Amino acid sequence: MIGVMLGYVQVVDAINRRIGRVTMYGLFAMMAVLLWSSISKTFFLPSLWTLEIAQFAMVAYFMLGGPYAIQMGSNVRMDLFYGGWSTRRKAVVDAFTVFFLIYYLYMLFYGGLGSLAYSFGYWGDEPYSFFAGLLTGSEEIGRLERSSTAWRPYIWPAKLIMVTGIFLMLLQAISEFFKDMARLAGHDIAETRV
């Protein structure tokens, strides 16, 4: 059983590490969009698309970088007590508290799927059956949701990135639980801090 858990940890950590390392460079794309926004507003006609593209880039940066931040331990912790605890005690507390994170991420994922289905024109309340129906051909994409701004971009790409990021964070939270369980079982887990 530990072997299966460690295999899961290796696969999920490798995927999230690669996605996170690529996502880090999204900051430069966001900076370029905001620079162009400043230049166009100063010297030319203001661009309608720059603010929303910067917001979409920030969503991608935050949501796809989140699993990597969890993996690297970059999330905020209350170090008042935690910092002085032994590795075993940290693993016990983390193994318990990660269930709250998993529950929260699952609720976000379910709500995100509903919102993504809505952006594809689905009006029902069963997003799982809608996406299963898309795969089998029994459902069709309806009228696509658009932003209410003057530029009016489609919303589904940003929502798809959000749902993907939440799903990857959920997988990473499970990976962190497996790491804590392996530590409690006495296995040495090499941290993947890069």
Kindly report, residue by residue over 167-180, the tens digit of the pLDDT. Answer: 999 999 999 999 99
User: Per residue in 78-122, pLDDT tens?
Assistant: 678 887 888 889 889 989 999 999 999 999 999 999 999 999 988
What's the pTM value of the predicted model, to 2 decimals? 0.88
Cα–Cα dist 71/17, whole Å: 8
Whole-angstrom Cα distance, residue 29 to residue 21? 14
Q: How far apart are CA 187 and CA 6, in angstroms?
A: 10
Asked if residue 175 lies in contact with residue 89, where contact means CB atoms within 8 angstroms, the answer is no
Q: What is the pLDDT of residues 30-75, one digit of tens each?
A: 999 999 999 988 898 888 888 889 999 999 999 999 999 999 988 7
Each domain of the chain, given as residue ranges in start order, spans 2-184
CA 132, distance to chain mean position in Å, is 22
Residue type for position 84: G
What rounded mean pLDDT belongs to the chain? 89
28 — pLDDT class (breaks 50, 70, 90): very high
Decide if 2 contacts 175 (C-beta within 8 A).
Answer: no
